Amino acid sequence: MILLDRVTKVYGKSPTPALDRISLHVEPKEFVIVVGQSGAGKSTLLKLLTREERQTSGKIIIGGIDYDKLKDKNIPLLRRKIGVVFQDFKLLPNRTVFENVAFALEIVGMSNHEIKHTVPKVLDIVNLKGKENSMPRELSGGERQRVAIARAIVRQPKILIADEPTGNLDPKHAWDVIAVLEKINRFGTTVLLTTHNQEIVNKLKRRVVTIQHGKIASDRAHASYKL
């Protein structure tokens, strides 16, 4: 599903690469947690996967798409394969919960009829039934993040990337968000999660990839994690 072969990323004229010959293979339906100290290269890794940044060298193949052969006009297709959730939610403040999720479908030309059918189903998955008409400001942080997850998965991507999705949340809301990520993974989506939260890593008991100074320092199944 995700294949990186000796991928290096150097920003500008920086003397040290942000990522240094990283090789990583993630199977379909896996749940992988990426950890590492600030500046280790986690965000760079995710930005290469979403094609927000280009690798300096090495090969990236995702869902059969070789990034070297990907034309700019096909980037929207790639974005449909990969849903992304950020620490700061990035919701549209003046739109309701329903509209925030519907927006992701409007921009790919889905009919109103289909949108009305699809959005409630996704809001149900993220446990936000009944919040359709709420505005983001009326929601808790955990609820906002679950709207962001609904928006990220509404086009049924094969991969969901969650970059510190619980970073702004208290423990109770963080666990609500993690439970939703686990549910989505059970439904068959590959999940890539970055977090600094040791308790979450230890309780999830999933594969943990540790990045240190731009390299993979360890890659373990069912790992626990100590800062």
Positions that interact with ligand ADP (CB under 6 A): 11-12, 14, 18, 36, 38-44
Q: Which residues pair with 216 in a beta bridge?
A: 211
Q: 117: buried, middle or exposed (CB in 10 Å: 19+, 13-18, 0-12)?
A: exposed
DSSP-derived secondary structure letter, 117: H
d(CA 48, CA 52): 6
- Name which of 29 and 215 has its Cβ closer to ligand ADP: 215
- Name which of 14 and 64 has its Cβ closer to ligand ADP: 14
Query: How many CB atoms are located within 10 Å of the residue 177 CB?
Result: 25
- Name which of 10 and 70 has its Cβ closer to ligand ADP: 10
Closest contact distance (angstroms) between CB of 12 and ligand ADP is 6
* Structure-derived torsion over alpha carbons of residues 16, 19, 23, 25, reported in degrees to the nearest 10: 170
Closest contact distance (angstroms) between CB of 23 and ligand ADP is 17
Closest contact distance (angstroms) between CB of 46 and ligand ADP is 8
- Name which of 87 and 127 has its Cβ closer to ligand ADP: 87
Closest contact distance (angstroms) between CB of 177 and ligand ADP is 19
